[in-house]
Structure 1
Amino acid sequence: MARKRKGRDISGWLVVDKPAGLTSTSVVNKVRWALEAKKAGHAGTLDPEATGVLAVALGEATKTVPHITDALKAYSFTVRLGQSTNTDDAEGEVIAESDTRPSDDEIKAALGQFIGDIMQVPPKYSAVKIDGQRAYKLARDGEEFEVEARPLWVEELVMTDRPDPDHVELEMTCGKGGYVRAIARDLGAALGCFGHVVRLRRVWSGPFDAEDGLSLEKIEELARTPALDEYVRPLEEGLADLPQVKCTAEGAAKLRNGNPGTVLPSDVEYGDECWASFDGRAVAIGRYKAGQLHPSRVFNL
C-alpha cells in the first residue's frame, strides 16, 4: 500500500527571489517546509550561483508548470571577457585566456548572431541528459562526451553597460531551454577573446517578476504561520499566457470528471489550447472543439 504524503493541500504559486549559493531544489524544499505543503515544484532551474525569480508551484499549480517553463524569460548578466572556464561561469577553472578586448561596437555587432532562432550547445556542466545521465555528472567524472546543439528562440539580446574593458553587462529575453552561460561562451568565441558568466539574474519568467519575489529570509521569518499564506498567489496566474474560456455549471462538473464540457462562446478557435474557469477558478486545461473543452489537465480545487 502506497504511503500517504504528509502535508497541507495548498495550491498556488509562491514567487521567490532566489539568493546565490543555493540550488533550485533546495529552495523548493524550503518553501515546502515553510508552507507545510504536500506537493511543490519549480518552473525552471536556476544555477546555484544565479539569483532572481524562481516560481514555486504548490499542489494543483504543479499542473501548470509547463506553461511557465515554456514562457519567455528575461535575464540580466555580466560576462568576463578574456577568459574561458570549464563550467562557463566563475565557479569553474580557467582553461583559456586572451589579451584581446573587443570594442563596444564590436560587441554590439556580434550580438546579432545570437538573436532569433538559433542553435545552442548547452554547457557540459548542465542538467541535460547524455545517454540517460546528467551531463554535469559525466563532466565531473572526467568522461569524454559531446552535447548536441538545441534550438533556442532569443527575442532580445542587448548590451546595457561596459564598466571596464574586461566586463560587459547584457540583458536577454529568450524562450525555453536557454543557457546564459552558453551565450557568454559563444559570444567570447565570436569575439576571439573567450568569455564566461560572472553574474546572472533572472529578472522575470512568464508572468512572475523577481521584484515581487520573497526573500528566503522573509520566508523563514513567516514560516508555518498564516502570514506566509497571504503571499501565495492564485494557481490561475500560471495560466496567464493561455486564453481563458468560461464554462457552465454542468460543463464544469463534466470537466472535473475528465469529460468534455460545454463552455460559453469566446474568441478561441477550433483546436486552440485554453483553460476553462467557473466562478473565477480554474477547472481544466484542454483543447476547444465546437463549443466544448476537451480536457488534458483537470484541477481538483
Structure 2
Amino acid sequence: MTAEQREQRASRPRRPTAADGLLVIDKPAGWTSHDVVAKARWLAGTRKVGHAGTLDPMATGVLVLGIGRATRLLTYVVGAEKEYLATIRLGVSTSTDDAEGEVTGRTDVGVHPWPELQVRLADAVAELTGDIQQVPSSVSAIKVDGQRAYARVRAGEDVQLAARPVTVHAFEVNDQQVVPDADGSGLMAWDLSVRVVCSSGTYIRALARDLGERLGVGGHLTMLRRSRVGGYPLSEARSMAELEAWPVDIPLDTLPLADAARATFPVRDLTAEEARALGHGQRIAPSGVDGSERTVAALGPDGVLVALIEDRGPQAWPVLVFSGS
C-alpha cells in the first residue's frame, strides 16, 4: 500500500461496528470473494468478517458473509446445498473449463445430426445427475501439498486432481440454441441455459467440461450465477452498491444470529432452565431430531440464539455456545 493510499484510508470516517449476524451479498462480476470481504470489513466496522464458500471472479450471485460471532456459523453454511444458473457452451474447450481460459479445442456442432445430439444430451445430463465422481478443474482452489492447484498450474506444473464424490440433485436444461462461435471462424457452438442444484464441493465448470466430453464436442462455462446457498436465496441478497450507499453513521444492518440459525438448522425452543444450562456449557435432554448428531439451533425464551446442539445418546450436547456463558 502506498503512502497516498494509507492517507486516504486514514481520512475515511470510521464506521460503527455492525451487530453480529450474516450478510447475504449478490456478488458482482469481476470481484473476488476476498474483495467482497475486504469491503465488508470497512462497511461493518470490524475485521471479524468471513465468507461461506468462494465464488470465482466471473461468477455472480449469493455470497454469505458472517460478521462478528456469526463467523462461527459459516462452517455449517459452507456445507449447505447450492443452486446455480449457468450457461454452458458446447463445441469449445478451454484450459480453465470457463470463459477466462485459453481455447484448447473447437468442434463444429453444426455438422452433427441434430436429433442424435438431442438424444445424447439427455443421456449425458442424466449420467451427470445424482451421486457422481467428479474431477475438479485443475485451476481450482483445492490444495495440493499445501499449495493451491491454480498456483501450481500457473507455475507450469501439470496438475492432476483425484475424483471426489459429489451429489447433483438436479441438472436441468431450460433453454438451448445454436450460435456462431466467437472466434469468427464460422463454426457453430451450442449454448445451454441450465439450472443445477448440488452438494457443497461440486464444480459447475467441471460439469460443463464433462458434459462436453460425453457428447464428444468439448464444453466450458460462459456464465455462472449462484441463486441459493442453503436457506439463503438470491431474493434476499443485497448488492454491493446498496451496501456502499449505507449511511456512514448508522451500523450496517445484518441478519440477526437467531434468524440466520433458523435459515440453516432445525430450531428448538428452550425453557429458561435449559437456556441457563446450555449457556454454561451443560447438557440437556435430547431434541429427538431425525439423523445422527444433527445440529439444532437452540433458542431461548427471549428468541436469542443460545447455542448449537447435537443429540449424542441420551443427551443433547452444546457444540457452539453463543449466549449466557
The structure-2 alpha-carbon separation of the partners of 1:45 and 1:126, relative to structure 1 and needing over 3 Å to count, comes to: same
Aligned equivalents of 2:204, 2:280: Cα separation in 1: 42
Residue identity opposite 1:252 in structure 2: A
Contact 1:87 / 1:93 at 8 angstroms: preserved in 2? yes
Distance 1:85 1:272 in 2: 41
Q: Secondary structure at the match of 1:108?
A: helix
Change (3 A) 1:46 1:182: same
Instruction: Quote how far apart the aligned CAs of 1:49 are.
Output: 0.5
Q: Is the 8 A contact 2:19 2:256 kept in 1?
A: no
Shift of the alpha carbon at 1:291?
A: 7.0
Tell me the CA shift for residue 108 of structure 1: 2.2
C-alpha distance in 1 between matches for 2:165 and 2:171: 16
Q: Paired residue for 2:233, among 173, 193, 209?
A: 209
Is 1:282 aligned with 2:305? yes
**Structure 1 residues 272 and 209: CA distance shift in structure 2, 3 A:** closer
After TM superposition, the score normalised by the length of structure 2 is: 0.83
Shift of 1:52: 0.5
1-side partners of 2:73 and 2:251: how far apart? 25
Greater CA drift, 247-256 or 115-124: 247-256
**1:129 alignment partner, one of 133, 139, 143:** 143
Q: Which runs of 5+ in 2 are unaligned?
A: 1-14, 180-188
Q: Deviations over 1:185-230 (max 9, x none)?
A: 000000000000010000111111112211111111115342742x
Instruction: Name 2:274's counterpart in structure 1.
Output: 251
Q: Does the aligned pair in 2 maintain the 1:244–1:275 contact within 8 Å?
A: yes
For the structure 1 residues 108 and 290, does the alpha-carbon distance in structure 2 shift closer, same or farther, using more than 3 Å as the test?
closer
Larger Rg: 2
Matched, 1:199 2:226: no
Cross-structure match for 1:3? none
Query: Which of 137, 145, 154 is equivalent to 1:140?
Result: 154
Percent sequence identity over matched residues? Answer: 40
Quote the Cα distance in structure 2 between the aligned partners of 1:40 and 1:186: 35
**Superposed displacement of residue 10, structure 1:** 2.4
Residue 317 of structure 2 is matched in structure 1 by 294
Distance in 2, Cα, partners of 1:272 & 1:199 = 35
CA distance in 1, matches of 2:314, 2:273: 13
- The equivalent of 2:70 in structure 1 is 61
Please, which runs of 5 or more residues in structure 1 have no aligned partner? 1-5
Is this contact kept in 2: 1:258–1:298, CA < 8 A?
yes
The answer to whether the 8 A contact 1:40-1:58 is kept is yes
Do the aligned residues in 2 keep the contact of 1:108 with 1:158 (CA within 8 Å)? no
Moved more, 173-182 or 287-296: 287-296
Q: Is the 8 A contact 1:273 1:285 kept in 2?
A: yes
Q: Distance in 1 between matches of 2:313 and 2:166?
A: 34
Q: How many residue pairs were aligned?
A: 292
Is the Cα contact below 8 Å between 1:236 and 1:281 reproduced in 2?
Answer: yes
User: 1:62, 1:254 → 2: CA distance?
Assistant: 24
Amino acid at match of 1:87: T
Secondary structure class of the residue paired with 1:47? coil
Q: Which residue of structure 2 aligns with residue 236 of structure 1?
A: 258
Q: Which residue of structure 2 aligns with residue 183 of structure 1? A: 207
2:59 to 45, 50, 63: 50
Which sits farther off after the overlay, 100-109 or 88-97?
Answer: 100-109
Q: How does 1:155-174 map to 2 (within 5 A)?
A: 155-165=169-179, 166=189, 167-174=191-198
- Distance in 2 (CA, whole Å) between partners of 1:24 and 1:228 is 19
1:39 Cα deviation after fit: 1.1
User: d(CA) in 2 for partners of 1:238 and 1:71?
Assistant: 13
How large is the Cα RMSD of the aligned pairs? 2.2
Partner of 1:273: 295
Under a length normalisation based on structure 1, what TM-score does the superposition of the two structures give?
0.89
Distance 2:56 2:221 in 1: 11
